[in-house]
């Protein structure tokens, strides 16, 4: 059994892991920006932005189910993208690098398709980790059947219910 399987999957653990996940996503984004100047750079940036939003969602709500976290992250990204149609994000982006990174500058309908690309793999991973945790937790914490417990104490059949 690996060490990661022994780490309890609590809200605190998830909240502690999300900044680490965000740093990994950021590192991947910066690596791609360093080696590519074309479509990979543009579309991976969009997908990885959505991945960062997913980590923020789970940081804020660590007990959120995978599908819900993915839906919230994708909806947020789509909302920000659609807000670019108003020109407000472009105006804010002209004044602030942080706003430019968070809100973008101009609407691109292709981005709407790339946001789920950054979220769906994380939803699947999230689901698999939760399922594995449930299986491991259930296997280690479920009580032995009554017959096994009474046999272990040297007793016969269980007594009357009181």
Domain assignment present for residue 7? The answer is yes
- Which letter does DSSP use for residue 143 in this model? P
Number of domains forming the structure of the chain: 1
What is the helix (H) or strand (E) element at residue 58, kind and residue range?
helix 39-60
Contact 144, 113 (CB under 8 A): no
Residue 133: which domain range? 3-141
End-to-end Cα distance, the chain: 41
Q: What is the per-residue pLDDT across 39-66, written as a single tens digit (0 to 9) for each?
A: 899 899 999 999 999 999 999 999 999 9
Contact 62, 133 (CB under 8 A): no
Q: What whole-number distance in Å separates Cα of residue 64 and Cα of residue 76? A: 15
Domain assignment present for residue 151? The answer is no
Domain assignment present for residue 69? The answer is yes
Domain assignment present for residue 150? The answer is no
Per-run averaged pLDDT (10 residues), the chain, 162 residues: 62 94 95 92 93 97 96 98 94 93 92 97 94 78 52 50 48
pLDDT of residue 162: 44
Q: What is the pTM of this model?
A: 0.78
Domain assignment present for residue 148? The answer is no
Domain assignment present for residue 135? The answer is yes
């Amino acid at each position: 059994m690996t060490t990661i399987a022994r780490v309890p999957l609590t809200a605190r653990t998830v909240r502690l892991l999300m900044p680490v996940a965000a740093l990994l996503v950021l590192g991947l984004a910066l690596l791609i920006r360093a080696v590519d100047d074309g479509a990979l750079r543009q579309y991976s940036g969009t997908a990885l932005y959505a991945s960062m939003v997913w980590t923020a969602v789970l940081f804020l709500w660590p007990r959120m189910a995978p599908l819900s976290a993915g839906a919230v992250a994708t909806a947020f990204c789509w909302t920000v993208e659609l807000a670019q149609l108003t020109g407000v994000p472009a105006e804010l982006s002209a004044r602030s690098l942080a706003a430019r990174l968070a809100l973008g500058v101009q609407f691109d309908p292709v981005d709407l398709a790339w946001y789920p690309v950054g979220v769906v793999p994380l939803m699947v991973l999230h689901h698999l980790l939760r399922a594995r945790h449930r299986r491991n937790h259930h296997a280690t914490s479920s009580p032995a059947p009554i017959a096994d417990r009474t046999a272990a104490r040297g007793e016969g059949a269980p007594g009357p219910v009181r």
